[in-house]
Structure 1
Amino acid sequence: MSSSRECATGDESRTVAVAVSRGLPVIDLALDGEPSSDRDRAETARAVGDACTEIGFLVVTGHGVPSRVINELRRQTGDFFRRSDEFKQSVAVEPGDPLMRGFGRGRTELLESFTVNRLGAPDAAKRCSSDVDEQLLLPNKWPDIAGFRQAYTEYCAAMEGLAGEIMRLFAVSLGLPGGWFDAAFGSHMSSLTANYYPRQGAAPEPGRMRKEAHRDWGTLTVLYQDETSRGLQVYGRDGQWADVPAVPGTFVINIGDLMARWTNDRWVSTVHRVVNPPAGLAHSARYSFAYFYQPSPGAVVSCIPTCRDADETSKFPPTRADAYFAAKRRREYIKESLVARRVAG
């Protein structure tokens, strides 16, 4: 199914929602050309808001991220994951790190990962308030690969710019000033996770897949997925799993539980997963890069004024971002421990 919507500005017009692919809107952000008019921007914001209301997922083109930055990240990441297990373990996640910085491997899921966080930068403490948990400020772990750190740093900078633009579209779509969210992200604790799904020489054990069904915890996820193998699926309102297409030159955007909470559940955080490839593609490894744009640790998240009628109460009490994520991590740790025991037993 495909459709398009044009936004006319004087004698000119441009396609805002360029297509709908398997239920997901593909939206041109127009960030890689001339600045958009206010009318174009409002129409783009409306298309983004519609997607967040209906499914919480969309695909974006015209994002302005240079292909050079993406390609270098892919090259460096491939180099890292092809290294020996001993080499990768040299930058393994510390057990006490709440932000899971470094190399990790799924307990039951068929993937490896590498994560860096903005709070792991040397100057992070200067940007944060004095009451921030010191564990959040543990340094990032960098493998000894020439150019690796630079590639990740440049990609994170590009993602920070893109995510900030999307948050401004979020604000406009919610009837707020464009910079309404800016203060909450002044010392944001965003992370970048590279996911590596190894090729499968034999059929996986029953019940094991590349990434189990889950919802993202936070505000906004910007995902780049390679085009060599399928796997990402979203769970639609019709009760069916739908494939997310890997459209060349695009990013997949989705909101998480915290953004749904911010909007009083006007917007939806959708369950998604990564399934094992069909036999014909089992020989192919899969890479994806998820940038999780999260508020500052001390940011207080409460119901957005425009997401509640005058006689309507907020569904959720205000919460600090760091406390919210700490509670999410505790619940996840308990769940993973129970699963690991069941698998071992």
Structure 2
Amino acid sequence: MSNIPSVDLRDFLSDDPARKQKFIDEIGAAYEDIGFVALKGHFLSDQLVKDLYEEIKNFFALPQDVKDKYEIPGIGGQRGYTSFGKETAKGFKKPDLKEFWHFGQYVEGDPKLEKEYPDNVIVEELPKFNEVGEETYKMLEKTGQYVLRALALHLGLEETYFDKYIKNGNSILRPIHYPPITEEPDNAVRAAAHGDINLITLLMGAQGKGLQVQNHQGDWVDAIAQPDELMINVGDMLSRHSNNRLKSTIHRVVNPPKEMWSTSRYSIPFFMHPISEMPLDCLENCIDATHPKLYEDITAGEFLHERLVELGLIKE
């Protein structure tokens, strides 16, 4: 099975200070080591998960010409549909074997950000698609907020340190469809080895083999969650902000054995991003004589732009 530690958010949310501290210690140690945890006790109900999978399977099963009308030019794939073979991992030449959808932030009380973020795209053919997507987005965002509160305490910060940066943040919910493989892939995989850009990623659909994480020895470890767990990993923004104390781990989605090529795989990551003004400068309390400052000062918006250019999703 998986070598990824499992933690329970209900420990952090409990009124028992010892249980809360246990969660902080466990998730902190996991993120300083392998950069991934499997998390129970999140805010997604079984019914919401079931409804979301049904809706995304319905969407990806639509005729290609119907899906194509939801691919919006000029926004770097930030909202709506991105068709098969469009995204290539940093440092790779072959595009990933996937198509995906993006739900973005539902801005509250900030007209400036409402103008800055593209609108969410409404799928006319599926009346429940957008409603279920929005509910999932909000429950994953709420889960992520508490994970970041635990990490703030682990890093010696005030518990709500991240709250102001993630409220109305540029987070993305990305349902992904890895279609059946119909011919021998030419060195292409479902998702090539990469690190995530953002603060943390909350992943639905990591049950069964496919997702692999690279440990410090360079070995690939299967990351398999239980049905009631989310896989949550540190992204490059948080790693940078913590002066690499919290590890953003390289991971990939490998192709299945040949006898399973005819099957689709679905996974649904929530990429938790802050507002673009958040400074990602290395935290003072993560810098000392044995851990000198590793990174130049940069904002989250500048860092995201840099990475989207590298991924080929936007032009400079």
Q: Do they superpose with TM above 0.5? A: yes
Task: Answer with 1 or 2: which has the greater Rg.
Answer: 1
Q: Quick one: distance in 1 between partners of 2:15 and 2:66? A: 47
Q: Does 1:93 align with 2:76?
A: no
Query: Cα RMSD (Å) of the superposition?
Result: 2.3
Kindly tell me: are residues 60 and 302 of structure 1, through their superposed partners in 2, closer, same or farther at Cα, counting changes over 3 Å? Answer: same
Q: Is the 8 A contact 2:11 2:19 kept in 1?
A: no
Letter in 2 for 1:127: D
Structure 1 segments of 4+ aligned residues over 4 angstroms from their partners: 310-313
Q: Is the 8 A contact 1:213 1:271 kept in 2?
A: yes
Q: Does 1:114 align with 2:107?
A: no
Shift in Å at residue 176 of structure 1?
1.9
- In structure 2, the residue corresponding to 1:196 is in which secondary structure? strand
Shift in Å at residue 133 of structure 1?
10
Which structure 2 residues correspond to residues 1-345 of structure 1 after superposition, within 5 A? 22-30=2-10, 35-94=14-73, 96-98=74-76, 100-104=78-82, 105-107=84-86, 108-118=95-105, 121=106, 123=107, 126-127=109-110, 130=112, 136-144=116-124, 145-202=126-183, 204-225=184-205, 227=207, 229-309=208-288, 313-333=292-312
Q: Quick one: distance in 2 between partners of 1:313 and 1:209? A: 37
Shift in Å at residue 246 of structure 1?
3.5
Q: Is the 8 A contact 2:5 2:37 kept in 1?
A: yes
Q: Quick one: distance in 1 between partners of 2:226 and 2:50? A: 16
Shift in Å at residue 312 of structure 1?
5.9
Q: Quick one: distance in 2 between partners of 1:213 and 1:312? A: 27
Shift in Å at residue 310 of structure 1?
7.0
Q: Is the 8 A contact 1:218 1:257 kept in 2?
A: yes
- In structure 2, the residue corresponding to 1:117 is in which secondary structure? coil
Shift in Å at residue 114 of structure 1?
0.5
The 10-residue stretch of structure 1 (76-85 or 109-118) with the greater mean CA deviation from structure 2: 109-118
Q: Quick one: distance in 1 between partners of 2:8 and 2:272? A: 20
Q: Is the 8 A contact 1:117 1:192 kept in 2?
A: yes
Shift in Å at residue 317 of structure 1?
2.7
Q: Quick one: distance in 2 between partners of 1:169 and 1:76? A: 32
**Which structure has the highest strand share of the two?**
1
Kindly tell me: are residues 312 and 214 of structure 1, through their superposed partners in 2, closer, same or farther at Cα, counting changes over 3 Å? Answer: closer
Q: Is the 8 A contact 1:300 1:320 kept in 2?
A: yes
Q: Return the structure number with greater relative CO, CA threshold 8 A, min gap 6.
A: 2
Please give the TM-score of this superposition, normalised by the length of structure 2: 0.89
Q: Quick one: distance in 1 between partners of 2:128 and 2:171? A: 21
% identical equivalent positions: 25
Aligned residues: 305
Q: Quick one: distance in 2 between partners of 1:321 and 1:225? A: 27
